[in-house]
Amino acid sequence: MTSEKRKKHYFWALIKENKGNKMNQGNNGFLGNIPLVTRNILIINALIYLAQYLLHKNGLYIIEEYGALFPIGSDYFMPHQIITYMFLHGSLGHVFFNMFAVFMFGRTLEMVWGPKKFLVYYMLTGIGAGLTQLLVCYLTGSEYPTLGASGAVFGVLVAFGMLFPNSELFIIPFPFPIKAKWLVIGYGAIELYLGVADRAGDNVAHFAHLGGLVVGFLILLYWRKKGFFTNGNILK
């Protein structure tokens, strides 16, 4: 069996095993069938966005003031924001698409790696994305805060692309399947272009996305070198 066939066999065997576990667990509902860390990430982000929405209706932005990632040197910058920023979002669409990506790809990574390793990876890529954005803000003099899980999501995407490079995905609006490796490369190229272009009115932290992607790629290279690429032994 070739290396690529082994990867495909492993991927589908993993999905089949997970379906079997669902049947054995009984009817636990939609969330009960999602792996632990992925499920908690979805719930936490949804609850925090709900709190943001309710406070915004009263004209309050307290959560953003303390949780969004402000540039170093800003009166609002605090060290904990390098973690809290990735659980805040600017709109319903923002949180929905980020969490949809976590649901689609993060649950597979958690099934492959186990909860501890997936959580460490998710947090490290999010922190790496935040540090990248702080550096870019320092170099450009930007004063805008950053919020959202997109940096960690790009880490999740690059991990899925490296683990299952030839898995075919259907991405709206394309009417044909795209292999995971090309999807990741394409996303990275687009983000690099948009970040360098620096178009007027573009308030997306493109370099934070790239930071999450690059940090994730470096972590995966290290884990592959140490033999921890497709299992959870690194944290056992």
pLDDT digits (tens, 9 = 90+) for 119-151: 999 999 999 999 999 999 999 888 889 999 999
Burial of 24 (C-beta count, 10 Å sphere; 0-12/13-18/19+): exposed
Contact 127, 201 (CB under 8 A): no
**CA 184 to CA 169: how far, in whole Å?**
11
DSSP line for 174-225: -SSEEEHHHHHHHHHHHHHHHHHH--TT----HHHHHHHHHHHHHHHHHHHH
Judge whether residue 15 has pLDDT over 80.
Answer: no
Predicted structure pTM score: 0.81
Contact 181, 124 (CB under 8 A): no
How many helices (H) and strands (E) in the chain?
11, 2
Judge whether residue 191 has pLDDT over 50.
Answer: yes
pLDDT at 232: 47
**CA 56 to CA 48: how far, in whole Å?**
12
**CA 145 to CA 165: how far, in whole Å?**
34
Enumerate the active-site residues: 150, 209
The pLDDT tens digits of the residues spanning 77-108 come to 999 999 999 999 999 999 998 998 899 899 99
Q: Contacts from 51-54 at CB under 8 Å and sequence distance 24+?
A: 52/88, 52/89, 53/92
**CA 236 to CA 206: how far, in whole Å?**
35
Contact 208, 140 (CB under 8 A): no
